[in-house]
Amino acid sequence: MLTLEKFEEASEIVKRVTNPTKLVYSEFLSEQTGGKIYLKPENMQHTGAYKLRGAYYKISTMSEEDRNKGLITASAGNHAQGVAYAAKAFGCKATIVMPTITPLIKVNRTKSYGAEVVLYGDVYDDACEYAYKLAEEHGFTFIHPFDDLEVATGQGTIAMEIVQELPTVDYILVPIGGGGLITGVSTLAKMLNPKIKIIGVEPTEAASMTAALRAGKVVSLDSANTIADGTAVKAVGENNLPYVQQNVDDILLVDDDELIGAFLDMVENHKMIVENSGLLTVAALKQLDCKGKKVVSVLSGGNMDVITMSSIVQHGLIQRDRIFSVSVLLPDKPGELVQVAQTIADEKGNVIKLEHNQFVSTNRNAAVELRITVEAFGSEHKQKIFDALEKKGFRPKLISAKLY
């Protein structure tokens, strides 16, 4: 059972290893929604995510004998680093089984905390099955990423900090993967103040908690295909579901496209790197009536590799019409390219890429294709540039924009 006494104990214990992630008031999001929006930046933890809380509290509840047997878990990211860091703090051995496709940066970070990393399988489920096998063979203690009430108690310490800092909070938005975080946060928040509304947020393509609530039991999705990889879980925890049924007021679903825009907003307005799973609660604000309410969005983590980051930024700029591409057909004679460039420049557009293809037609005098990628201020500016090209007789066609 999750008890207030255990939450209070956990809140003191996790302070030994966590950063004090004070609420950040978001003027930008408050203006957009009409509410007072605060961010709980768990992306600023030592390991880049909230998972350290649950791992450290779980290990603190073990006997010295159990810790000395060694710990083991399976994870492709945040839980791996949380367990590795917590195990190092307690001076015990940790083995982390990670899928073979785990990005090298995450593998190296986990190793840097002193854990032994075993690469096995193509997906988390394969790694988890192998971790259980190793636990049985070597007598290791397995720490589940989410389906463990002591782990959930550690994660719930986030609610204690939110309520202490903002006692009059109306809504707390929490990302959902396997359900450990929202189990802890919702249960403690309701204990402290039953009037607080707890809103869970899932990716549309990995809505395993929504499916479980509809069915009244844990069900396994056929797939969990989402860019919010930290919440890409096919089935939620058996231990978590009853607490979610009792304490969570609503669950919102967010499409991947919305996370792309939320990433840009975080970078440009808050100078923060937040991973896609952590952005679920920001993207979901549009679906909530926040007017006159105090709302806290939990940013669960910020572990994102640079290649993914650059891809998200590119797609975000294209999505918001801040980068677009057009194709024009020109006669193959001197000065035509200059006229196109000048037309774009006159409208304050910035050309960032050009492709000049003389072989689009056998009649080069009639048609040489010019593909231009332009930086703009947004949809209205993009239309002005497009209209100016049309007015000059270049007959522009919008094409798919690519920066590479």
For residue 275, the one-letter residue type is: E
Tell me if residue 300 is catalytic. yes
What confidence tens digit (pLDDT) does each residue in 41-51 have? Answer: 999 999 999 99
User: How confident is the model over 337-366, as a mean pLDDT?
Assistant: 82
pLDDT at position 127: 86
pLDDT band at 229 (very low <50, low <70, confident <90, very high): confident
Residue 91: count of CB within 10 angstroms of its CB:
9
User: How confident is the model over 323-333, as a mean pLDDT?
Assistant: 88
pLDDT at position 216: 96
What gap in Å lies between CA 55 and CA 59, rounded to an integer? 6
**Higher pLDDT among residues 186 and 234, named by residue:** 186
pLDDT at position 19: 93
pLDDT at position 135: 95
Residue 155 pLDDT greater than 60, yes or no: yes
Domains and CATH numbers, the chain: 4-48+149-314 (3.40.50.1100), 51-142 (3.40.50.1100), 321-399 (3.30.70.260)
8 Å CB contact between 20 and 40: no
Closest by CA position to 181, among listed 262, 44, 39, 299: 299
User: How confident is the model over 141-160, as a mean pLDDT?
Assistant: 96
**Higher pLDDT among residues 255 and 335, named by residue:** 255
* CA quadruple 42, 255, 103, 184: dihedral sign: positive
**Higher pLDDT among residues 115 and 305, named by residue:** 115
pLDDT at position 86: 95
For residue 231, the one-letter residue type is: T
pLDDT at position 357: 76
- Find the helix or strand (DSSP H, E) in which 144 lies: none
pLDDT at position 359: 67
What confidence tens digit (pLDDT) does each residue in 237-292 have? Answer: 999 999 999 999 999 999 999 999 999 999 999 999 999 999 999 999 999 999 99
Active-site residue, selected from the candidate residues 51, 58, 106, 190: 51
User: How confident is the model over 68-92, as a mean pLDDT?
Assistant: 92
Active-site residue, selected from the candidate residues 26, 75, 277, 300: 300
Residue 55 pLDDT greater than 80, yes or no: yes
**Higher pLDDT among residues 333 and 31, named by residue:** 31
User: How confident is the model over 121-148, as a mean pLDDT?
Assistant: 91
pLDDT at position 394: 87
Tell me if residue 51 is catalytic. yes
Crossing angle of helices 104-112 and 78-90, in 10° steps, is 10
pLDDT at position 337: 86
Residue 53 pLDDT greater than 80, yes or no: yes
> Mind spelling out the 3-state secondary structure of 358-402?
CCCCCCCCCCEEEEEEEECCCHHHHHHHHHHHHHCCCCCEEECCC
Apex 76 CA angle, 241 and 257, nearest 5: 75
Residue 364 pLDDT greater than 60, yes or no: no
The mean of the pLDDT values for the chain is 93
pLDDT at position 146: 93
pLDDT band at 365 (very low <50, low <70, confident <90, very high): low
What confidence tens digit (pLDDT) does each residue in 159-211 have? Answer: 999 999 999 999 999 999 999 999 999 999 999 999 999 999 999 999 999 99
Residue 265: count of CB within 10 angstroms of its CB:
19
Residue 94 pLDDT greater than 70, yes or no: yes
